C-alpha cells in the first residue's frame, strides 16, 4: 500500500485515509451474534 509505505518513511504522526467496507457488519454483528447467544441460552 503506497500510502502506508510513505507514512512509515516520513515518520511522525500521519493521517492515512482508507475506505472501509461495512457490508458484512449486519450479518456478523447482528445475525451471527444473535445465533451464538441463542445457542448459549439453550444449553
Q: pLDDT value at position 9?
A: 93
Q: pLDDT value at position 10?
A: 93
Question: pLDDT, tens digit, for every residue of 1-43?
Answer: 788 899 899 999 999 888 888 888 878 888 888 888 888 888 7
d(CA 26, CA 31): 7
Number of domains in the chain: 1
Assigned C-alpha cell, 21: 467496507
Instruction: Decide: pTM greater than 0.85.
Output: no
Residue 37, domain extent: 2-42
At 38, phi and psi to the nearest 5? -65, -35
Amino acid at each position: 500500500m503506497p500510502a502506508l509505505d510513505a507514512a512509515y518513511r516520513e515518520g511522525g504522526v500521519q493521517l492515512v485515509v482508507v475506505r472501509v467496507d461495512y457490508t458484512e457488519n449486519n450479518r456478523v454483528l447482528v445475525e451471527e451474534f444473535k445465533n451464538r447467544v441463542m445457542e448459549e441460552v439453550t444449553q
